[in-house]
Amino acid sequence: MKLDLPTMKWRALTLLAFVYFQVTLAEEPRLVITPAQPEYTAAVGNPLAFTCKAEVPDPTLITDLKWISPEGLEIGVGDRIFTEDATEDDGDNGDTPRRQLFFSSVQESDSGNYTCRATYTSSQTLSASVKLSTRVPIKWIDVPAEQHATLGEEYKVRCIVNANPAPQVRWLKDGVAISKKTFESQYLPQSDGILIRNVSREDAGIFTCRASVELTGDLSEKKITLKIIVPPKFKNVIEDIESLEDMSARLDCEAEGEPTPTYELFDAKGEPIIGRPGFVINPNTGILVIEEVKRENAGEYKCRALNDGGTIEAVRRLRVITKPTIVSFINATGVENKNITIECIARGDPLPEIVFIKVGSDNTYKTGVNTLDPRVSVEASNDGSGIGGEPDSAVAKLSISSATRSDDGLYKCYAKNSEGTAERTGHITVEFPPKFENTTKKEMWTWSQRPVNLTCRVSSIPNATIYWWSSHYETDIEENDPRIYINSDGESTLLVTPEDDSFYGEYRCLAKNKHGKVKHSIVLKRAHVPQPPTRVIFQTLETVTALTITFEIIGPQDNGGIKLISYAVQFRKQNEEWTDEKPSIEWTIGSPYILKNLESKTDYSFRFSARNSVGISTYGEETYIMAERAAPEKPKIIATPTGDLVHSQYSEKYNLTWTIMPDNGVPINKFQIVYFQDRNSTVGSNWTEAEPSIRKDVGPKNVSFEIKNLKPDTFYKVEIRAHNAIGFSEPTGIIVKTAKGSIETTEQQSMDYFNWSDIGIWEGVIITVAVVFAVAVFAIFVDVILCLTLRTGLFARCYYGAETTPNQTEETETPPMRMSTLQYESEQRETTAMVNGST
């Protein structure tokens, strides 16, 4: 239908005129509501007022003008909806009663019929109504201008729009209306947005949400930028990180995503790392650098990467390769014969290997049973509490079963890994009950109130308490007794002064520690004078003139209880008596027992005694040493000048003098002198028996002999030798030259020279005959005397018959400890003394 505007104006005016006439002309009482639509549409949220005016002939007759709500209640004074009297002076007609209905803000729920009512002339009820309907304009409820869709997921581009009457929503993507034709079923419009089933990167762009209300003609649109989000994803495969101690470590947490993720890092305890000194996080890559890694930095780190698309977490495990350190190695104490264990804990990464070394020996103990000493074994285990419950300590236990005292000592725990070594020393103490040392004596000696120390040597761990008991004291003597002295070696010494006999006897030393107790007896004995030596063995050494004897002394069986100080020897010659003045020599024990300057070829008797601190023993049995027996020493010729050739002062004689030399045990009974004319003889040649020579024997006491009847100016060889029962000594000889003689002697000389030996023989015969005769006469005389007095002798035999002849005097010898056999050979000088040892 086409509207003709001038026609409409006209008609309206006609209508208005008609109405006016109706009102004024009819004068019919009524109520009029303005705005004067029977139905009024109000925009929600706006204020609104309706005015109700009474058009009556006499306004004063109007009473009770009021508004009634759609619910039929009178609207009075209120907050949002209220009524007010608005009566005005209208001039000619007087006051026209009016009442206004106010809505301070229209709401959708306000729609409905509102009625204005009044009473006229107290009998006529007037009323008029208006229908209020509400209209809501297009309103954007939830249309974020930028929205993020996660790649690959479902996303609804949100656009919530409100209007009343309900709007129609249409969508555009990058200016192209979304329809089945344009985007197929990719986008699915819904009441609160448009759904993207599987978000792809192409969905990014500008979406337009356009709302329109056909009835009102409202139209509005919003542009939405859709961004595609890629959730974070760690770039690299999760790996454990290893780092050397004190080096830098890098933990890679890098993630990719859109928008670029941000990072948060946490240590093993969950504490954030950001801002920690020495820890640097690159905010763009999420890479953590620990500048100088320490052992305690090892552990699990949590990386968190986040962007709008989400949050991801990963754990990075940092392993710090460390040199071993020994955490604990505690001294162990055990008991002898029991088990002892010492434990060593070492840290390090990789886990160190532990061995034990006994200090001062080459013994190294590795894991397992020791092959050389199966008592010893090492058990290794690992202790948790490292990263993720992994062991972070190596634990090794050295066990010794049935420990001995030698196991006591220092041990080294030695830990090693690829990075280095560590060691620590600890001590194993092996406790044991007290034991007496071997040096502890069983008896002690003293005498005459001399104080003596009784000493007890005890070894034990822990230290033993030592106390003493003795029958002399009534109570135990405790450690703190002044009589007890304890030295630094753990010896306990009891000082005893034996004031009387009761002090001699048994003393007991008692030692006790927590592992046991022991006792040891020491008998205190009285020391006395020793016995003489048991036996003495001789060894003689002849020196030129004196005898030296070395003795070997075998000590006495009883030394008197205390050690000997010296041996003493006393000696005498065979023909002397023992007297106190006899020389005695004392040797300290252990020195060479040598006696010097004894006369050689002399018999001696010796007796020995021993001395200790108490005194000197009696002398033991006497022993003899018998001198060798031999022919005498050769006499010494005294001649001036000494030498082989001697000039006699006389022409016919020479006075030979000599010195008697030792007789070598058997008395000298004569000297024999021989001389003969011999110009050419050399002195010292062998004894010449050859004729012609003159031989003269002289008595043993003689020391000179005059050789007579010599020729003048002639050489003679003169020799002398001594003789005893064993034989002759060696000769001593000289050459004598007689002085030049006078004429008187010449004849005699020649005569002597001619028949020197014959005359000698004749003289000898005469003298012999004379002597034999004299002896025979004397013997007969003596024999007769003997016969008469003692009835002995030859005559007596004739008269009285045979009688035992008295024995010749024989040398009787007490058999000495050393036997001597003397062998005499007639006319030979060799005398052999066979010496047999007395053993």
- Under the binding rule (CB under 6 A), the answer on residue 485 touching ligand NAG is yes
Output the smallest distance, CB 664 to ligand NAG, in A: 33
Binding characters for ligand NAG, 295-334, by CB under 6 A (x = yes): ------------------------------------x---
Nearest to 365 by CA among 342, 332, 390, 394: 342
Applying the rule CB under 6 A, the residues between 810 and 829 that interact with ligand NAG are none
Output the smallest distance, CB 329 to ligand NAG, in A: 9
Q: Which CB, 391 or 490, lies closer to ligand NAG? A: 490
Q: Which CB, 184 or 489, lies closer to ligand NAG? A: 489
d(Cα 433, Cα 462) in Å, to the nearest integer? 8
Output the smallest distance, CB 809 to ligand NAG, in A: 48
Binding characters for ligand NAG, 331-350, by CB under 6 A (x = yes): x-------------------
Nearest to 556 by CA among 568, 539, 548: 568
Q: Which of 205, 490, 516, 760 binds ligand NAG (CB under 6 A)?
A: 490
Helix (H, G, I), strand (E, B) or coil at 788: helix
By CB under 6 A, which span of 237-245, 320-328, 483-491, 567-575 interacts with ligand NAG? 483-491
Q: Which CB, 679 or 695, lies closer to ligand NAG? A: 679
Output the smallest distance, CB 456 to ligand NAG, in A: 12
Q: Which CB, 488 or 808, lies closer to ligand NAG? A: 488
- Under the binding rule (CB under 6 A), the answer on residue 495 touching ligand NAG is yes
Q: Which of 38, 451, 684, 764 binds ligand NAG (CB under 6 A)?
A: 451
Q: Which CB, 24 or 680, lies closer to ligand NAG? A: 680
Q: Which CB, 111 or 493, lies closer to ligand NAG? A: 493
The CA-CA-CA angle for residues 602, 630, 831, to 5°, reads 125
> For the residues of 271-331, what is the DSSP string, one character each?
-B-TT-TTEEE-TTT--EEESS--GGG-EEEEEEEEETTEEEEEEEEEEEEEEEEEEEE--
Q: Which of 339, 401, 453, 545 binds ligand NAG (CB under 6 A)?
A: 453
By CB under 6 A, which span of 151-159, 449-457, 528-536, 586-594 interacts with ligand NAG? 449-457
Output DSSP code: residue 571: E
Question: Is the bond preceding residue 532 a cis peptide, omega within 30 degrees?
Answer: no
Q: Which CB, 375 or 427, lies closer to ligand NAG? A: 427
Applying the rule CB under 6 A, the residues between 647 and 686 that interact with ligand NAG are 680
Length of the chain counted residue by residue: 839
By CB under 6 A, which span of 163-171, 239-247, 345-353, 484-492 interacts with ligand NAG? 484-492
Q: Which CB, 223 or 427, lies closer to ligand NAG? A: 427
Output the smallest distance, CB 446 to ligand NAG, in A: 8
- Under the binding rule (CB under 6 A), the answer on residue 493 touching ligand NAG is yes
Output the smallest distance, CB 714 to ligand NAG, in A: 13
Q: Which CB, 369 or 495, lies closer to ligand NAG? A: 495
Q: Which CB, 141 or 410, lies closer to ligand NAG? A: 410
By CB under 6 A, which span of 16-24, 77-85, 357-365, 447-455 interacts with ligand NAG? 447-455
Applying the rule CB under 6 A, the residues between 680 and 699 that interact with ligand NAG are 680
How many residues bind to ligand NAG according to rule CB under 6 A?
13
Q: Which CB, 493 or 749, lies closer to ligand NAG? A: 493
Helix (H, G, I), strand (E, B) or coil at 519: strand
Neighbours of 359 (CB within 10 A): 12
d(Cα 325, Cα 347) in Å, to the nearest integer? 5
d(Cα 46, Cα 51) in Å, to the nearest integer? 17
- Under the binding rule (CB under 6 A), the answer on residue 409 touching ligand NAG is no
| Percent composition of the chain: helix, strand, coil (DSSP 3-state, to 5) | 10, 50, 40
Q: Which of 131, 222, 223, 427 binds ligand NAG (CB under 6 A)?
A: 427
Output DSSP code: residue 109: G
Q: Which CB, 138 or 464, lies closer to ligand NAG? A: 464
Question: Is the bond preceding residue 530 a cis peptide, omega within 30 degrees?
Answer: no
By CB under 6 A, which span of 451-459, 500-508, 560-568, 694-702 interacts with ligand NAG? 451-459
- Under the binding rule (CB under 6 A), the answer on residue 463 touching ligand NAG is yes
- Under the binding rule (CB under 6 A), the answer on residue 512 touching ligand NAG is no
Q: Which CB, 421 or 429, lies closer to ligand NAG? A: 429
Q: Which CB, 78 or 451, lies closer to ligand NAG? A: 451
Nearest to 839 by CA among 536, 580, 430: 536
Output the smallest distance, CB 495 to ligand NAG, in A: 5
Output the smallest distance, CB 331 to ligand NAG, in A: 4
DSSP E strands: which ranges in 660-769?
668-677, 694-698, 704-707, 715-724, 732-737
Output the smallest distance, CB 472 to ligand NAG, in A: 17
Are 687 and 731 contacting, i.e. CB atoms less than 8 angstroms apart?
A: yes
By CB under 6 A, which span of 108-116, 489-497, 690-698, 749-757 interacts with ligand NAG? 489-497
d(Cα 471, Cα 497) in Å, to the nearest integer? 15
Q: How far is CA 593 from the centre of its chain?
A: 54
What lies within 8 Å, CB to CB, of 494 at 6+ separation is 453, 454, 455, 456, 468, 477, 483, 484, 507, 509
The helix or strand, by DSSP H or E, that contains position 409, with its residue range, turns out to be: strand 409-417
Buried b (16+ CB within 10 A) or exposed e, 239-275: eebebebeeebebbbbbebbeebbbbbbbbeeeebee
- Under the binding rule (CB under 6 A), the answer on residue 807 touching ligand NAG is no
Binding characters for ligand NAG, 245-264, by CB under 6 A (x = yes): --------------------
Q: Which CB, 485 or 687, lies closer to ligand NAG? A: 485
Phi, psi of 639 (to 5 degrees): -145, 145
Output the smallest distance, CB 734 to ligand NAG, in A: 18
Q: Which CB, 593 or 716, lies closer to ligand NAG? A: 716
Reported for 386-389, long-range contacts at CB under 8 A and 24+ positions apart, including other chains, are 386/298, 387/268, 387/298, 387/299, 387/300, 387/317, 387/318, 387/319, 388/300, 388/317
Applying the rule CB under 6 A, the residues between 212 and 231 that interact with ligand NAG are none
Torsion of CA 680, 686, 691, 694, to 10 degrees: 90
Output the smallest distance, CB 431 to ligand NAG, in A: 12
By CB under 6 A, which span of 112-120, 482-490, 575-583, 750-758 interacts with ligand NAG? 482-490
d(Cα 51, Cα 771) in Å, to the nearest integer? 224
Q: Which of 24, 406, 438, 488 binds ligand NAG (CB under 6 A)?
A: 488
Are 438 and 412 contacting, i.e. CB atoms less than 8 angstroms apart?
A: no
By CB under 6 A, which span of 446-454, 583-591, 633-641, 774-782 interacts with ligand NAG? 446-454
d(Cα 377, Cα 367) in Å, to the nearest integer? 7
d(Cα 712, Cα 745) in Å, to the nearest integer? 8
d(Cα 153, Cα 199) in Å, to the nearest integer? 5
Q: Which CB, 433 or 662, lies closer to ligand NAG? A: 433
Are 195 and 155 contacting, i.e. CB atoms less than 8 angstroms apart?
A: yes
Q: Which CB, 451 or 667, lies closer to ligand NAG? A: 451
Chain residues that interact with ligand NAG, rule: CB under 6 A? 331, 426-427, 451-453, 463, 485, 488, 490, 493, 495, 680
